[in-house]
Amino acid sequence: MAHRTSRVVGVLFSVIAATLVATATPALAHNSLKSSDPKADSVLDAAPAAVTLTFTEELTPGQTTLTVTGPDGAPASGDAAVAGATVSVPFKPTVPGAYKVAYKVTGHDGDATSNSLTFTLSAAAVPTTTTAAPTTTTEAPTSTAPMTTAARPESDVVDSDTQWWPVAAGVLALVALGVLLAFRRKRTE
């Protein structure tokens, strides 16, 4: 009866250890992007006043950067402002096309995370700087269908610094240890 109890204790220990490691995963993870405005891969008919990113942890203000670059390579953002887990920059569109939002953030654990996402401004979203000469002809009003926004869910945004393999290796090591202890106790009985 004692040998059966020791095996059950060994297996129980392994299950508890694996559960503790599995539930501790968020504490081991780096700060990751929770949401963005505008959303990644969205197509916009109106330019936003700012680009805002929200992360899973509070950010360190002096170690957080957020830049927006236009399709022409020109900067399209102002200085970053950090508030808790959110960073934002004023947005200054230059031309229609795909804008790259690049960030590097540091959470309270001191680990830096960097990545980027894009969104697209339609021609209607960016005012033109040319002025047309006035005409005296009148045209019949036309109807245009609004562009739809094809946004990718934020859960699809990949964090380049996510390291899941140490957690998986730890879980496998604990399970292997539990199995080893169970077999070892069985052989000594």
Average pLDDT, the chain: 76
For residue 18 the two structure tokens come to: 């694996």
Mean pLDDT value across residues 61-80? 94
In sequence order, the 6+-apart residues with CB closer than 8 A to the CB of 65 are: 80, 102, 103, 104, 105
pTM of the model: 0.57
pLDDT band, very low/low/confident/very high, at 8 (cuts 50, 70, 90): low
Res 172: pLDDT: 75
Question: Cα separation of 96 and 102, whole Å?
Answer: 18
pLDDT the model gives residue 178 = 78
- Amino acid, single-letter form, for residue 189: E
* Residue 17 near residue 172, CB atoms below 8 Å: no
Look at residue 41 and give its three-state secondary structure: coil
pLDDT of 91 over the 60 cut: yes
pLDDT for the residue 30:
73
Q: Which of 127, 105, 123 is nearest to 114 (CA)?
A: 105
Range among 40-44, 123-127, 160-164, 169-173 with highest mean pLDDT value: 40-44
Q: Which of 59-63, 68-72, 145-149, 180-184 has the highest mean pLDDT?
A: 68-72
Assess whether pLDDT exceeds 50 at residue 4. Answer: yes
